[in-house]
Structure 1
Amino acid sequence: MNTPEVQLQKKKYGIVGNSEGLNHALDIALQVAKTDLSVLITGESGVGKEAIPRLIHDNSLRKNKKYFAVNCGSIPEGTIDSELFGHEKGAFTGAVGEREGYFGAANGGTLFLDEVGELPLSTQARLLRVLETGEYIRVGSSEVRKTDVRIVAATNVNMAQAIKDGKFREDLYYRLNTIPIKMPALRERPDDIVLLFKKFAMDTAEKYNMPEPIELSEEAKVRMKSYPWPGNVRQLKNVTEQISILSKERFITPEILEEYVPEQPISHDLIQLNASGKEQHSFENEREILYKILFDLRNDVTELKKLVHSQQTAGSSVVPATSSVPAVQMHNPTPYYGSSMAYPQEHPAASVMPPQVQVVPAAKPAHEEDEIQTPEEYVEESLSLDDWERQMIIKALEKNGGRRKGAAHDLNISERTLYRKIKEYGLEK
Structure 2
Amino acid sequence: MSSNVQSVKQRFSIIGNSPKLLVAIDRALQVAPIDLSVLIIGESGAGKEFFPQIIHTNSARRHNKYIAVNCGAIPEGTIDSELFGHEKGAFTGAIAAHKGYFEEANGGTIFLDEVAELPLTTQARLLRVLESGEYMRVGSAEVKKTNIRVVAATNKDMVRAVKEGKFREDLYYRLSTVQINIPPLRDRGDDVWLLTRKFSHDFADNYHMPQVEYTGEARQAIMGYRWPGNVRQLKNVVEQIALFEAGNTLTGDDVRRYLPYATDDMKPVVASQASAFDYNRERELIFKMIFQLQSEIENLKTAVETGSHVAHINDDVAELKRQSKQLVGSLSKYKSPELKSIGLDDYGAVPGAAPQVHEVDATAVEPDEVRPVKTLEDTERETITRALERNCGRRKKTAEELNISERTLYRKIKEYGLESRNLKS
Q: How far apart are the structure 1 equivalents of 2:118 and 2:90?
A: 21
1:96 aligns with 2:102: no
In the superposition, relative to structure 1, how do residues 347 and 159 fare at CA in structure 2: closer, same or farther (>3 Å)?
Answer: same
Q: Counterparts in 2 of 1:263-342, with a 5 A limit?
A: 263=261, 320-323=317-320, 328=326, 340=342, 342=344
Q: How far apart are the structure 2 equivalents of 1:9 and 1:27?
A: 9
Report how far residue 331 of structure 1 moved: 6.9
State whether residues 200 and 241 of structure 1, in contact with CA within 8 Å, keep that contact through their aligned partners in structure 2: yes
Report how far residue 246 of structure 1 moved: 1.2
Q: Counterparts in 2 of 1:29-108, with a 5 A limit?
A: 29-108=28-107
Decide which of 240, 243, 255 is 2:241's aligned counterpart: 243
Report how far residue 205 of structure 1 moved: 1.1
Q: Which amino acid is 2:192 matched to?
A: I
State whether residues 343 and 351 of structure 2, in contact with CA within 8 Å, keep that contact through their aligned partners in structure 1: no
Q: How far apart are the structure 2 equivalents of 1:202 and 1:233?
A: 16
**Corresponding residue number in structure 2 for 1:146:** 145
Q: How far apart are the structure 2 equivalents of 1:285 and 1:121?
A: 36
In the superposition, relative to structure 1, how do residues 326 and 207 fare at CA in structure 2: closer, same or farther (>3 Å)?
Answer: same
State whether residues 68 and 113 of structure 2, in contact with CA within 8 Å, keep that contact through their aligned partners in structure 1: yes
Q: Which amino acid is 1:3 matched to?
A: S
Q: How far apart are the structure 1 equivalents of 2:132 and 2:158?
A: 24
Q: Which amino acid is 1:347 matched to?
A: A
In the superposition, relative to structure 1, how do residues 96 and 239 fare at CA in structure 2: closer, same or farther (>3 Å)?
Answer: same
Alignment identity in percent? 52
TM-score by length of 1: 0.66
Q: Which amino acid is 1:186 matched to?
A: L
| Deviation digits for residues 32-79 of structure 1 (CA, Å, limit 9, x no counterpart) | 011110000001000000000011111111111110000000000000
Report how far residue 244 of structure 1 moved: 0.7
Q: How far apart are the structure 2 equivalents of 1:131 and 1:286?
A: 48
Q: Secondary structure at the match of 1:68?
A: strand
Decide which of 321, 340, 353 is 1:347's aligned counterpart: 353
Q: How far apart are the structure 2 equivalents of 1:58 and 1:285?
A: 53
Q: How far apart are the structure 1 equivalents of 2:258 and 2:52?
A: 32
CA RMSD of aligned residues (A): 3.1
Question: Structure 2 stretches of 5 or more lacking a match?
Answer: 280-313, 357-399, 404-425
Q: How far apart are the structure 2 equivalents of 1:209 and 1:215?
A: 16
State whether residues 136 and 143 of structure 2, in contact with CA within 8 Å, keep that contact through their aligned partners in structure 1: yes
Q: Secondary structure at the match of 1:168?
A: coil
Report how far residue 324 of structure 1 moved: 8.3
**Corresponding residue number in structure 1 for 2:170:** 171
Q: How far apart are the structure 2 equivalents of 1:282 and 1:178?
A: 49
**Corresponding residue number in structure 1 for 2:156:** 157
Q: Which amino acid is 1:55 matched to?
A: I
Q: How far apart are the structure 1 equivalents of 2:246 and 2:238?
A: 14
Q: Which amino acid is 1:255 matched to?
A: D
Report how far residue 105 of structure 1 moved: 0.5
User: Comparing 62-71 with 240-249, which one deviates more in the overlay?
Assistant: 240-249
| Deviation digits for residues 74-111 of structure 1 (CA, Å, limit 9, x no counterpart) | 00000000000000011000011111110000000000
Q: Secondary structure at the match of 2:317?
A: coil
Q: Pick the structure with greater CA Rg.
A: 2
Q: Which amino acid is 2:30 matched to?
A: Q
Q: Which amino acid is 1:239 matched to?
A: V
Q: Which amino acid is 1:134 matched to?
A: G
TM-score by length of 2: 0.67
| Deviation digits for residues 206-239 of structure 1 (CA, Å, limit 9, x no counterpart) | 21122x3323211111111111001000000000
Q: How far apart are the structure 1 equivalents of 2:186 and 2:3?
A: 25
Report how far residue 248 of structure 1 moved: 4.3
In the superposition, relative to structure 1, how do residues 143 and 250 fare at CA in structure 2: closer, same or farther (>3 Å)?
Answer: same
Number of equivalences = 309
Q: Which amino acid is 1:86 matched to?
A: G
Q: Which amino acid is 1:183 matched to?
A: I
Q: Which amino acid is 2:256 matched to?
A: E
Decide which of 256, 259, 264 is 1:258's aligned counterpart: 256
**Corresponding residue number in structure 2 for 1:181:** 180
Q: How far apart are the structure 1 equivalents of 2:211 and 2:134?
A: 53
Q: How far apart are the structure 2 equivalents of 1:110 and 1:145?
A: 17
State whether residues 5 and 25 of structure 2, in contact with CA within 8 Å, keep that contact through their aligned partners in structure 1: yes
In the superposition, relative to structure 1, how do residues 82 and 336 fare at CA in structure 2: closer, same or farther (>3 Å)?
Answer: closer
State whether residues 116 and 158 of structure 2, in contact with CA within 8 Å, keep that contact through their aligned partners in structure 1: yes
Report how far residue 263 of structure 1 moved: 1.4
**Corresponding residue number in structure 2 for 1:427:** none
**Corresponding residue number in structure 2 for 1:131:** 130
Q: How far apart are the structure 1 equivalents of 2:228 and 2:21?
A: 17
State whether residues 134 and 145 of structure 2, in contact with CA within 8 Å, keep that contact through their aligned partners in structure 1: yes
